[in-house]
């Protein structure tokens, strides 16, 4: 069984300004990244040859916290002193910067070549213009060759002008590309900081590897979903996704990615409450208004120092974070390797995909001012942590919209898939009166009587749920008499007080009617909140 040594670097880190012993430089490419809301743990791997006494890991960004660095060595490799030194960015540009610099130089060379071609064409054009106007005493032309000479001048002038026009068109396109490349290079240089090199003294009895990990900021992720309903098969195809981005100063190329709901940047210290001591002060001759000084408590711990002001090259990038999370950390493994540049761009990665059996129901809530029927689907919630996020919705292959979704809000998944145009909803007013209920008791009365008419024009039976929020009095001055026909079969829907409902299975072209009748008595004086 392989034994590994883990070496915390926070206590043994030394910063060197002078040169260290020459060692074979190792790039130690990034192998995996664990992404948190607002930060990331980067893992690099350096190969160590048998008999090596020193390993130099180069190409590291200088913006990670040195206290978070950890080294883990294979069995047979003993780690000794660790030294770090920073380098100017110009001494160790990133691979992305080098590519952008090469691109900018190539575009500049192309623009220069076009400028040279334009200048040569303009020289030809100027010479031909002089020939045409007789300037600079041109050589005499034989009359027999005049037509040919004029045609040659005309053709030469046309070719010169056409070359200039074509070159100007090419130059405009190249200039746009050059401007974009220069802006991208400036952003890369602004986001990149000085490079860092770590030199590790080792005693390698045999070959192996050293795993280097450290924590960086300006990276994050947030959950996202895609839900596709097949109404014919009553299935819900649900894809779990994550939106990630980073501006850590180093590109992630073909790395293994894990997503965690943990937040290492948060304070982990346990609270340490101080005693609350009261001190009595006897009265003095001068009466002093009571102040908070009379209630003297032990001083509270000093507040945390405010964050340092942003650097001169700071931008408005905000790493995506989770808006809520469970009590414990959960990690998600991204199936495919990921490549993500350090420029703040957002990409979506797929985490998993599954098909759930769905129960479809048309939801109607006329009292809420929503006379449309909306198709909903419910499914059993699979095991695991399902974080809130944006969900993209499709119904039978058609995109219907997006909404904020909290999968943990109920015991089952429930999603809305847009309006059902084959279900009509109508509200009929039977009675709506307001007036004085009694001359002697000085009470007012409001009566509301309505009928909800729901008609299905589907070719197959559908399940319908009609919801009605009945008035609930929270004052003994207000009384409510309620009459509902037929009697609701749903009470306190989703633990919401007074919210009742009727469930029906409507056949093709079937109409159902639901009567509601409320009589509300309240004092003549005053105001009743919630009356329509």
Instruction: Using alpha carbons only, give the angle 384, 386, 388 rounded to the nearest 5 degrees.
Output: 170
| Shared-domain flag, residues 73 and 211 | yes
**Residue-by-residue DSSP string for 364-377:** EEGGGTEEEEEEEE
441 shares its domain with 515: yes
* Among 125, 156, 191, residue at a domain's last position: 191
pTM flag (> 0.85): no
Q: What is the pLDDT of residue 271?
A: 67
Domain that includes residue 502, residue range: 423-523
Q: Which two tokens stand for residue 385?
A: 């942590």
Verify that 68 and 43 share a domain, yes or no: yes
The answer to whether position 463 is within a domain reads: yes
SS (H, E, C) 237-281: EEEEEEEEEECCCCCEEEEEEEEECCCCCCCCCCCCCCCCCCCCC
- The better pLDDT of the pair 122, 297 is held by 122
Q: How many structural domains compose the chain?
A: 3
13 and 148 within one domain: no
**Do residue 213 and residue 82 come from a single domain?**
yes
Indicate if the pLDDT at residue 22 is higher than 50.
no
Would the pLDDT of 144 be above 80? no
pLDDT at 137: 56
Highest mean pLDDT of the ranges 287-296, 348-357, 439-448? 348-357
The whole-number pLDDT of residue 140 equals 59
In a domain, 77, yes or no: yes
Q: Counting beta carbons within 10 angstroms of the beta carbon of residue 140, is it exposed (0 to 12), middle (13 to 18) or buried (19 or more)?
A: exposed
Which whole number is the average pLDDT over 7-17? 41
Q: And the tokens for 156? A: 């030469």
Give the CB-side neighbour count of residue 468, counting CA atoms within 13 A. 27
What lies within 8 Å, CB to CB, of 82 at 6+ separation is 7, 9, 12, 13, 14, 71, 198, 199, 200, 201
Q: At 131, is the pLDDT very low, low, confident or very high (cuts 50, 70, 90)?
A: low
Co-location of 142 and 25 in the same domain: no
Measuring CA to CA, which residue among 69, 72, 58 is closest to residue 20? 58
Q: Which pLDDT band holds residue 149 (cuts at 50, 70, 90)?
A: low
Comparing CA positions, the residue from 64, 130, 61, 50 lying closest to residue 96 is 61
**Any domain includes 183:** yes
% of the chain surpassing 70 pLDDT: 74
**Residue 502 φ/ψ, nearest 5 degrees:** -120, 130
Of 82-91, 261-270, 284-293, 361-370, minimum mean pLDDT range: 284-293
Which of 368, 320, 311 lies closest to 190, judged by CA? 311
Residues 6+ apart with CB under 8 A from 47: 26, 207, 208, 209
3-state helix, strand, coil in the chain (%, to 5): 20, 45, 35
Tell me if 76 is assigned to some domain: yes
CA–CA separation, 57 and 44 (whole Å): 10
Q: What is d(CA 485, CA 504) in angstroms, rounded to the nearest whole number?
A: 14
- 439: in domain: yes
Residues 124, 89 within the same domain: no
The pLDDT value given to residue 315: 65
Residue 160 has pLDDT above 70, yes or no: yes
CA distance 390 to 402: 7
Cβ–Cβ < 8 Å for 226, 391: yes
What mean pLDDT, rounded, does the chain reach?
80
Q: What is the pLDDT of residue 214?
A: 93
Q: Where are the strands (E) in 367-485, listed by range? A: 370-380, 389-395, 398-405, 412-419, 423-438, 443-456, 462-469, 479-485
Do 52 and 105 fall into the same domain? no
Measured distance CA(364)–CA(366) in Å, rounded = 6
CB 275 within 8 A of CB 87: no
Residue 453, pLDDT above cutoff 90: yes
Q: What is the pLDDT at residue 387?
A: 85
What's the mean pLDDT in 457-477? 93
Looking at residue 515, which CATH number applies to its domain? Answer: 2.60.40
Q: Is residue 286 part of a domain?
A: no
pLDDT band of 138, cuts 50, 70, 90: low
Q: Is residue 64 part of a domain?
A: yes
44 or 118, which is more confident?
44
| Residue 448: alpha-carbon gap to chain centroid | 47
Which of 212, 208, 268 has its CA nearest to residue 13?
Answer: 212
Q: What is the mean pLDDT of residues 185-194?
A: 64
The share of the chain scoring above pLDDT 90, in percent, equals 40
Final residue before a domain boundary, out of 143, 174, 191:
191
Residue 504 banded pLDDT, cuts 50, 70, 90: very high
Q: By the 8 A CB rule, do 478 and 518 touch?
A: no
Phi, psi of 7 (to 5 degrees): -125, 110
- Do 115 and 185 belong together in one domain? yes
List, for residues 266-309, the tens digit of each pLDDT value.
Answer: 555 666 777 776 665 677 665 444 443 333 433 444 444 444 44
Instruction: State the DSSP code for 420.
Output: -
Grade residue 511 by pLDDT with cuts at 50, 70 and 90.
very high
- Judge if 115 and 127 occupy the same domain: yes
Selection from 20-24, 141-145, 280-284, 301-305 with the highest mean pLDDT: 280-284
Confidence of residue 425 (pLDDT cuts 50, 70, 90): very high
Q: How far apart are CA 190 and CA 470, in angstroms?
A: 60
Pick 359 or 435 by higher pLDDT. Answer: 359
Mark residue 92 as left, alpha or beta (left: phi above 0; alpha: psi -120 to 50; beta: remaining): beta
Terminal CA-to-CA distance of the chain, rounded, Å? 75
User: Residue 192: what pLDDT?
Assistant: 52
Does 486 lie in the same domain as 449? yes
pLDDT at 508: 95
Q: Which helix or strand (DSSP H or E) is residue 177 part of?
A: helix 146-191
Of residues 318, 396, 315, 313, the one with CA closest to residue 360: 396
Among 217, 251, 274, which residue terminates a domain?
217
Mean pLDDT of 468-494: 92
- The phi, psi pair for 100, rounded to 5°, reads -70, -40
Place of tokens 């009566």: 447
Bigger pLDDT: 21 vs 102: 102
Residue 345 belongs to some domain of the structure: no
**Residues sharing a CB contact under 8 Å with residue 321, sequence separation 6 or more, in sequence order:** 37, 38, 220, 222
State whether 198 and 148 are in the same domain: no
Residues 6+ apart with CB under 8 A from 488: 468, 500, 501, 502
pLDDT of residue 325: 44
> Which has more pLDDT, 247 or 5?
247
């Amino acid at each position: 069984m392989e034994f590994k040594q883990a070496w915390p670097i926070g206590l043994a880190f030394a910063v060197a300004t002078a040169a260290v012993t020459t060692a074979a430089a190792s790039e130690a490419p990034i192998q995996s990244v664990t992404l948190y809301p607002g930060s990331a743990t980067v893992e690099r791997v350096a190969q160590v040859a048998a008999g090596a006494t020193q390993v130099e890991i180069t190409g590291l960004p200088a913006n990670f916290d040195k206290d978070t660095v950890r080294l883990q060595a294979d069995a047979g490799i003993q780690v000794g002193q660790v030294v770090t030194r920073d380098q100017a960015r110009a001494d160790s540009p990133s691979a992305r910067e080098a590519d952008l610099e090469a691109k900018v130089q190539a575009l500049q060379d192309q623009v220069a070549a076009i400028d040279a071609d334009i200048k040569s064409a303009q020289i030809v054009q100027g010479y031909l213009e002089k020939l045409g106007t007789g300037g600079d005493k041109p050589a005499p032309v034989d009359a027999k060759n005049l037509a040919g000479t004029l045609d040659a001048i005309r053709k030469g002038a046309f070719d010169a002008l056409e070359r200039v026009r074509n070159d100007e068109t090419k130059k405009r396109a190249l200039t746009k590309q050059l401007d974009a490349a220069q802006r991208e290079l400036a952003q890369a240089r602004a986001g990149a900081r000085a490079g860092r090199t770590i030199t590790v003294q080792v005693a390698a009895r045999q070959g192996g590897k050293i795993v280097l990990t450290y924590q960086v900021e300006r990276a994050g992720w947030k959950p996202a979903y895609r839900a596709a309903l097949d109404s014919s098969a009553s299935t819900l195809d649900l894809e779990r996704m994550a939106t990630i981005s980073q501006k850590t100063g180093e590109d992630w190329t073909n790395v293994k990615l894990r997503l965690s709901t943990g937040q290492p940047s948060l304070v982990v210290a346990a609270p340490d409450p101080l005693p609350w001591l009261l001190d009595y002060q006897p009265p003095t001759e001068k009466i002093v208004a009571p102040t908070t000084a009379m209630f003297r408590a032990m001083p509270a711990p000093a507040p945390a120092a405010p964050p340092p002001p942003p650097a001169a090259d700071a931008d408005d990038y905000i790493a995506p974070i989770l808006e809520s999370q469970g009590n414990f950390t959960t990690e998600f493994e991204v199936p495919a390797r990921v490549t993500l540049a350090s420029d703040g761009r957002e990409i979506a990665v797929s985490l998993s995909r599954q098909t759930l059996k769905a129960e479809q129901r048309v939801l109607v809530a006329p009292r809420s001012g929503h006379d449309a029927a909306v198709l909903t689907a419910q499914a059993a919630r699979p095991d695991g942590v399902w974080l809130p996020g944006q969900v993209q919705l499709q119904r039978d292959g058609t995109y219907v919209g997006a909404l904020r979704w909290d999968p943990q809000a109920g015991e089952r998944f429930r999603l809305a898939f847009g309006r059902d145009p084959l279900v009509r909803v109508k509200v009929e007013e039977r009675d709506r009166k307001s007036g004085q209920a009694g001359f002697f008791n000085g009470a007012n009365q409001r009566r509301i009587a309505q009928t909800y008419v729901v008609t299905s024009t589907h070719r197959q039976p559908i399940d319908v749920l009609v919801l009605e929020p009945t008035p609930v009095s929270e004052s003994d001055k207000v009384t409510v008499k309620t009459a509902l026909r037929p009697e609701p079969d749903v009470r306190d829907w989703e633990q919401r007080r007074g919210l009742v409902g009727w469930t029906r299975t409507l056949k093709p072209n079937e109409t159902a009617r639901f009567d509601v009748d409320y009589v509300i008595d309240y004092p003549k004086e005053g105001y009743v909140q919630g009356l329509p």
